[in-house]
Chains A and B, each alone.
Chain A
């Protein structure tokens, strides 16, 4: 990525090619590992792994952990840890469930099935999540209690606050509109998905061109034009391919028929309708974009990474690192609330064990995605890819019929190996 690489180092052509693209080699490695993993499962399952149906399911299963993993990147980058996310998710899910079924659905308030219920429930959840996160952040930043301890306490406290709120009962069924956040029950449909995909491609290309122009206007070196075009083409194909795959998973005929009957129409013979992008995935994409912009283009993000790299330097540069800690944990809490909405909506109920062991999945996703526990290093897309790899591994093994204990053993081993590979990689590249 250094400027000296630009005129083209002497070396094999393939190396020249990748150098010109200026891609993150780490990211390429992760994508490579992911592709290999998928191909292996696809062969072992005789082609059942890489079907539109399974890919659709994989994405909606990943969303909840992936949303939290983006927040965990900020937490780990600043050398903290959050063990309470799974429990926090349960508490927020319980609050949202109680708000929508007991309070808002009461005939004297809004009444069952009122269209505003889902928004109000989500807002209530976000307020609770952000408040709890900020409170934990305050204890860490201002009282100086280590994050490990505060959130270890939180792990116990919030799991049981959830239990306390619901008296241990499963609450539901949840509001119908709310459950559309869960995945299969709420998707954009084929046309809207294509529009979404095309908008995304347009945005990516526009950003690419704008960045190139800006660099050129300052007189900085830019990538060769062919490299930009190749990169743009790869990203566009990836986005449209993803949309196409989700659209290719068709709504089962019986279900489609029921939907037509509910609308008072008859279903035309032989009609096939694809699901398209689930709302939960749209939410994840929005979260990913917002968090990436925060990390790269805002002062907050800059201070998070600076504090992770050298807390003393950050302090001496006039950064209020205590308040920064509060903000980071508040963001984490807000993301737990969004994840809670998705997780409980997917189930249709709020249960006490919702999000159990999620803290480990979320931390593992962030770490597999290249977030260094020593601080200062990590990416949002890496964490999401990490979550996807974890989920693929788990559900792939389930499809193959690996015994449950073996599944967890493999996931544990992979986590440790991933970090080992990362350490070796960093040593080699001198990062």
Chain B
């Protein structure tokens, strides 16, 4: 196989003595969607926030295209073309779509002033592809529906030529139609060769969208598998019991068989 796009090796982070992420190793190849599953508090979001620069790992290595990188801030992550769509959307509610899309990376005029018109023009362009029904370009995003807000968040990640996309519960706040839209978008981005980490609670989503999945429990990796090698029940067992089925590669968090049999 080629070199992975991202490899996170033996990542550890703890908050006040709690091992939120405990020696977790995951990888991601170009054109692949890897689903991250687990209970609330299993450490999925924390793991991913290390990659997006929101948290700094206590130990562990991050390799991008086989080279070790150091990510200390969201800016560092962005410079490696890592873009994140957060569960909480991370939008400034009082600003309009264009301001949010370009937040932290504003287009400026030759005199260094923020060029709102140019940003609005770019926003209109990308929105006509992502969500042609989007019309409220001048309203603050708090006046938008969940789906419209999500398309702003996605536009922000996609616009800047992301190579690695992190999606934290991208469909949690969406209706059926909008969820379908996100699914189509993920397929489209895969074709373009992006690598996508998808955090989700919805096993159905994961089987539909992901090529591989990794399950975490109590900050540890239970195991990872190709979605074709395991069943729904296998995955439920991994999430709830931490039991690694035969089709999956066990991680440090997997229960030893003896314990299960009891």
A interface list, Cβ under 8 A from B: 1-4, 214-215, 218-220, 293, 296-299, 301-303, 305-310, 312-319, 376-377, 430-431
Contact = CB atoms under 8 A, between A and B. Distances in A.
Given A2-B136, A299-B114, A377-B94, A220 B103 contact: no
Nearest to B52: A316
B120 A318 contact: no
A376 B143 CA distance: 14
Contacts of A377: 94
A67 to B, nearest CB: 23
Given A2-B138, A218-B117, A299-B114, A316 B94 contact: no
Interface in B118-151: 118, 120-121, 135-140, 143
B139 A310 contact: no
Contact of B136 (A3, A215, A301, A307): A3
A309 B90 contact: no
25 contacts: A1-B138, A2-B136, A2-B139, A3-B135, A218-B118, A219-B121, A220-B117, A220-B121, A297-B116, A299-B108, A299-B114, A302-B95, A302-B106, A302-B114, A306-B95, A307-B92, A309-B93, A309-B94, A310-B93, A312-B90, A313-B91, A316-B74, A316-B90, A318-B104, A319-B103
Contact of A309 (B86, B88, B92, B113): B92
Given A312-B90, A319-B104, 16 more contacts: A3-B136, A4-B135, A219-B121, A297-B113, A298-B114, A299-B106, A302-B106, A305-B95, A307-B92, A313-B89, A313-B90, A313-B92, A315-B54, A316-B54, A316-B84, A317-B90
A319 B99 CA distance: 14
Given A2-B139, A299-B108, A302-B106, A318 B78 contact: yes
Interface string B219-244: 00000000000000000000000000
Contacts of A218: 117-118, 120-121
Interface in B77-105: 78, 84, 86, 88-95, 99-100, 103-105
Contacts of A306: 92, 95, 99, 103
A215 to B, nearest CB: 6
Contacts of B139: 1-2
B59 interface: no
B169 to A, nearest CB: 15
A317 B104 contact: yes
B136 A314 contact: no
Given A316-B74, A317-B103, A310 B120 contact: no
Contacts of B70: none
Interface of B: 52, 54, 73-75, 78, 84, 86, 88-95, 99-100, 103-106, 108, 112-114, 116-118, 120-121, 135-140, 143
A22 to B, nearest CB: 9
Contact of B91 (A299, A302, A310, A319): A310
B49 to A, nearest CB: 9
B88 A312 contact: yes
Contact of B95 (A2, A297, A298, A309): A309
Contacts of B95: 302, 305-306, 309
Nearest to A300: B114
Given A218-B117, A302-B103, A310 B90 contact: yes
Contacts of B86: 316
A301 to B, nearest CB: 8
A24 to B, nearest CB: 13
B94 A314 contact: no
A13 B195 CA distance: 55
A429 to B, nearest CB: 10
A298 B107 CA distance: 10
B166 to A, nearest CB: 11
Which 4 A-B pairs have CB atoms at the shortest separation, nearest pair first?
Answer: A309-B94, A317-B104, A309-B92, A376-B94
Contacts of A296: 114
Nearest to A297: B113
A299 B104 CA distance: 8
Nearest to A211: B117
Most buried by A among B88, B94, B116: B94
B103 A297 contact: no
A399 to B, nearest CB: 40
Nearest to B54: A316
Contacts of A431: 140, 143
B81 to A, nearest CB: 14
B119 to A, nearest CB: 10
B120 A220 contact: yes
A312 B73 CA distance: 13
